[in-house]
Copies of this chain bind each other. A is one copy, B any other.
């Protein structure tokens, strides 16, 4: 099967609050939105935000937990950018999960949570670097 993921959907409690975070703190622009769904065009796929209750209903009534066992990473090109981006996200409504430091596998990273508790790793990770358009290809 095609090694492809089309959408990541994040369940949110308050869509305007989430929109403010992604557009102002991350500085991203929706590619399409209505009062239920916002799509952000990412590097080869879409990030979407959707009310958590609507997502639960779409999944047939499955109850969903905040702080799920996953993280999303936004890699940056320099070590210094990690601190700057985290400061900007915290100023824009994120919560600090782990202050930046050096993990055992190298590089430099910290974690914040978006207003709904979804974890973003902000990382400088030599070997996993976005290109000028944000696309990531692992060099092996």
- A90 CB to nearest chain B CB (Å): 14
Contact A44 B45 (CB under 8 A): yes
Q: How big is chain A's contact interface, by range?
A: 35 or more
Residue with the highest number of chain B CB atoms closer than 10 Å, among A1, A9, A72, A140: A1
A85 at the interface (CB under 8 A from B): yes
- A140 CB to nearest chain B CB (Å): 5
- A3 CB to nearest chain B CB (Å): 5
Residues in B neighbouring A66, C-beta threshold 8 A? 65, 68-69
Contact B136 A43 (CB under 8 A): no
- A46 CB to nearest chain B CB (Å): 6
Contact B3 A28 (CB under 8 A): yes
Residues in B neighbouring A58, C-beta threshold 8 A? 98, 103, 111
Q: A3 to B56: give the CA distance in the assembly, Å.
A: 27
Q: A88 to B74: give the CA distance in the assembly, Å.
A: 32
Q: A98 to B55: give the CA distance in the assembly, Å.
A: 12
Q: List 28 A-B contacts (CB under 8 A).
A: A1-B26, A1-B88, A3-B26, A3-B43, A4-B43, A4-B134, A5-B43, A5-B47, A5-B73, A5-B134, A6-B74, A6-B123, A6-B128, A7-B121, A31-B138, A41-B138, A42-B45, A44-B135, A58-B103, A62-B98, A63-B67, A66-B69, A68-B68, A68-B69, A68-B70, A68-B118, A69-B118, A70-B118
